[in-house]
Structure 1
């Protein structure tokens, strides 16, 4: 399997890359600063570039089978601005599968299912900027013809891989309060080889 991982130097992305090369898949990582990745393997191809530059995305996406985006907001609109470029290049390259890391804020509220969690009393966050960015990504994916899955973790502390967690389509599992970076990456990685959650958001928590 040939994979493109965006956000490969981030907390979740680094775990996904490590898992993929451990399983001897070919991974291309598009990163602004290769030094931050701190991984070296014969199965890993690092391309220095910017996800906001179409030519960089085109170079990185050559001959890949699946795209995994672990990009975060970084207080900017990189998520929503880069996605149209990513989707355009995926269409050009005939790549159908994309897995993204979202946030539990864009899952439906259990209290008021007609709205998102970040818009409801369930959300404890004062700032809604990141959730709004992830909402824009969700809406763009919904309008696409791609086979997408958005993995939506709640509070993300560092922690060991347990492989034991709960997932639920469109909602955060009841009373879920956290999920480790490693377990989030584990579930996202498994979606590369699964069709169970195509075209849906998936809440994940312990």
Structure 2
């Protein structure tokens, strides 16, 4: 499969690239700063660009079978960058007749985190969650084969492949998940049909 990864220079994005290459896929890493991506592989191409640039995204998406978005934010301020980037990606996918996309959001976009933790996340991350939620809504309206990942707190532990998923809320008593396992899920989401048209909570 030919996969383009947006946000490939980030910590989750690099895990996606590494695991996708390990599974034998051809990967295009779409990055603002190519030097952040230190992985070298004959099946890896690096493409410098900004997801807010509609034309750059359109050119990048061409020729791929699936899209994985690991885009993040630059801070906690109010922004529409994730939604605008997703809008550009969706348009490019439709133009090039590409159906599969997995998007990395965050637990909390549906106000699904219980208790005090959920209240705090809703306050501190309100701008980030709002941007992710709009991106989710764009995907839901798109008629693409989309999956949204909603991981709880991310850490840098090795991949386990033993995480829990849920279509409603977040996994019971879950608190965290490794970026490597989020990457594992994202690849499953674009290579299998199990999670099509689902917003999925992830945790151990």
Structure 2 length-normalised TM: 0.92
Describe the superposition over 1:108-147 as per-residue Cα deviations: whole angstroms up to 9, x where unpaired.
5376xxxxx9xx8734323211111111011111111111
Shift of 1:33: 0.8
1:155 aligned partner: 153
Q: Please give the alpha-carbon distance, in whole angstroms, between the structure 1 residues aligned to 2:117 and 2:17.
A: 36
**Long gaps (5+) in structure 1:** 112-116
Contact 1:79–1:137 (Cα < 8 Å) also in 2: yes
Q: Does 1:102 align with 2:105?
A: yes
Q: Does 1:12 align with 2:12?
A: yes
Q: Please give the alpha-carbon distance, in whole angstroms, between the structure 1 residues aligned to 2:59 and 2:186.
A: 24
Range with greater deviation from structure 2 (75-84 or 93-102): 75-84
Structure 1 length-normalised TM: 0.91
1:194 aligned partner: 192
1:36 aligned partner: 36
Q: Superposition pairs for residues 131-150 of structure 1, below 5 Å?
A: 131-150=129-148
Q: Please give the alpha-carbon distance, in whole angstroms, between the structure 2 residues aligned to 1:25 and 1:154.
A: 27
Contact 1:9–1:36 (Cα < 8 Å) also in 2: yes
**Long gaps (5+) in structure 2:** none
Q: Which runs of 4+ in 1 moved over 6 A?
A: none
Q: Please give the alpha-carbon distance, in whole angstroms, between the structure 1 residues aligned to 2:117 and 2:2.
A: 42
Q: Secondary structure at the match of 1:122?
A: helix
- CA distance 1:121–1:45, change in 2 (3 Å): closer
